[in-house]
Amino acid sequence: MNKKNILVTGADGFIGSHLTELLLSKGFHVRALSQYNSFNNWGWLEQVHHPELEVVCGDVRDPNYVRHITKDIDTIFHLAALIAIPYSYTAPDSYVDTNIKGTLNICQAAKENGVRKILVTSTSEVYGTAQYVPIDEKHPKQPQSPYSATKIGADAMAMSFYNAFNLPIVIVRPFNTYGPRQSARAIIPTIITQIANGAKEIKLGDLTPTRDFNFVKDTCRGFYLLSQCDEAIGQEVNVCSNYEISMRDTLNTIAELMNTDVKFIEDTQRLRPKNSEVFRLWGDNTKIKELTGFEPEYDIRRGLQETIKWLSDKDNLKMYKSNIYNV
């Protein structure tokens, strides 16, 4: 793949910007899609500088534009999506348009333009609350939010192009990714930014659910390894640590690493509806290990230390509004 052209959609986001940096470090030319806005702001790509970086601005919801940017592309990493679960409760139509139709547009354009491989980003939320653990790729799908329903639909749309047209699709299913640049809507940056701003009472939702947290560099390495693995074509593959930790233990670990005593206060607006909460996620990473040899390099403490260091930097911290609930 050296010097071949790569397209990353959602490159201006949290995982997308880190993945773009990784691909650039491997010597590829990266066409990075940032969602168009009149401010010409490239999101987290504003922090990425490289001669082989080509930033383009547009929207995956536009099939003509997607057809245009996928020309002369060897591999697509499709990350563009709406991902905030609370917002999906109030704006489900926009999730259908972006997540399902956006994926359809990518698949159609890739088919027309002869793209060699397409990695479509899924999410562990498609599994819902674990019926058994660890969760492997055969676990039933459970649409417990409009967001997860649209990601199930997007995965199915992509796989239909593999089955019907032999389009070289890989479904990459990251579990809960965290690290520098993550939105404050997620629990780890929410805790860290509140503590870093001097709060002694931390506002959070339910602390009983468990998650399989993955440091962003491990997640991106999983994407890259799968892009190099032809045996992964036509498969759904978890990217996870095979480890679970409760939200409460996550809070306590962060407080310990930041050397502070904090009190937890339940904020009702942060609670999901009862049947929408995913209470347990613990991923099985056997398949990605067998396909690529993938092993997580960051345990939870090391990953949290790097995240705390980045978020505690005053220039980074000022970008977060820790005093409000970020949907």
* 134 prior amide bond cis, ω within 30: yes
Give the pLDDT confidence score for residue 2 in this predicted structure.
Answer: 47
Can you spell out the DSSP letters for 235-275? -EEEE--S--EEHHHHHHHHHHHTT---EEEE-GGGPPPTT
Residue 326 lies in a domain: no
Give the pLDDT confidence score for residue 231 in this predicted structure.
Answer: 98
Q: Are residues 232 and 285 in the same domain?
A: no
Please give the biggest Cα pair distance in the chain. Answer: 57
Q: Are residues 56 and 190 in the same domain?
A: no
Residue 163 lies in a domain: yes
Domain of residue 112, residue span: 5-177+215-239
**Given the DSSP bridges, would you call strands 169-174 and 53-58 parallel, antiparallel or unpaired?**
unpaired
Q: Are residues 151 and 203 in the same domain?
A: no
Residue 171 pairs in a beta bridge with 120, 236
Residue 327 banded pLDDT, cuts 50, 70, 90 = low
Which of 66-70, 72-76, 259-263, 296-300 is the least confident region? 259-263
Residue 204 banded pLDDT, cuts 50, 70, 90 = confident
Average confidence (pLDDT) over 255-278: 85
Residue 250 lies in a domain: yes
Instruction: Give the separation between CA 193 and CA 269, rounded to whole angstroms.
Output: 18
Instruction: Give the separation between CA 30 and CA 14, rounded to whole angstroms.
Output: 16
Residue 88 lies in a domain: yes
Q: Is the CB of residue 231 less than 8 Å from the CB of residue 193?
A: no
Average confidence (pLDDT) over 58-73: 98
* pLDDT of 89 over the 70 cut: yes
Residue 324 lies in a domain: no
CATH of the domain at 192: 3.90.25.10
Q: Are residues 166 and 258 in the same domain?
A: no
Give the pLDDT confidence score for residue 11 in this predicted structure.
Answer: 98
Domain final position from 239, 254, 279? 239
Q: Which of 12, 19, 10 is nearest to 226 (CA)?
A: 19
Instruction: Give the separation between CA 320 and CA 298, rounded to whole angstroms.
Output: 25
Residue 325 lies in a domain: no
* pLDDT of 87 over the 60 cut: yes
Q: Are residues 102 and 132 in the same domain?
A: yes
Q: Which of 69, 231, 229, 78 is nearest to 155 (CA)?
A: 78
pTM: 0.95
Give the pLDDT confidence score for residue 73 in this predicted structure.
Answer: 98
Give the pLDDT confidence score for residue 3 in this predicted structure.
Answer: 62
Give the pLDDT confidence score for residue 322 in this predicted structure.
Answer: 78
* H helical segments located in the chain: 14-25, 63-69, 85-90, 92-95, 102-113, 146-165, 187-196, 216-227, 247-257, 286-292, 300-312, 314-317
Q: Is the CB of residue 111 less than 8 Å from the CB of residue 161?
A: yes
CATH of the domain at 25: 3.40.50.720
Q: Are residues 160 and 204 in the same domain?
A: no
Residue 323 lies in a domain: no
Q: What would the two tokens of residue 10 be? A: 């959602």
Instruction: Give the separation between CA 183 and CA 12, rounded to whole angstroms.
Output: 12
Q: Are residues 123 and 185 in the same domain?
A: no
Number of domains in the chain: 2
Q: Which helix (H) or strand (E) holds 28?
A: none
Q: What would the two tokens of residue 304 be? A: 């949290």
* pLDDT of 275 over the 90 cut: no
* pLDDT of 267 over the 80 cut: no
Q: Are residues 230 and 256 in the same domain?
A: no
Q: Are residues 306 and 162 in the same domain?
A: no
Q: Tell me the pLDDT tens digit for each residue of 17-58.
A: 999 999 999 999 999 999 999 999 999 999 999 999 999 999
Can you spell out the DSSP letters for 48-67? ---TTEEEEEE-TT-HHHHH
Residue 71 lies in a domain: yes
Q: Are residues 110 and 15 in the same domain?
A: yes
* pLDDT of 179 over the 90 cut: yes
Residue 94 banded pLDDT, cuts 50, 70, 90 = very high
Q: Are residues 123 and 190 in the same domain?
A: no
* pLDDT of 1 over the 70 cut: no
Q: What would the two tokens of residue 25 be? A: 């470090």
Q: Are residues 19 and 40 in the same domain?
A: yes
Q: Which of 35, 32, 73 is nearest to 50 (CA)?
A: 32
Place of tokens 């032999």: 166
Q: Tell me the pLDDT tens digit for each residue of 118-147.
A: 999 999 999 999 999 999 999 999 999 999
Give the pLDDT confidence score for residue 142 in this predicted structure.
Answer: 97
- Look over the chain and give the mean of its residue pLDDT values, rounded to a whole number: 95
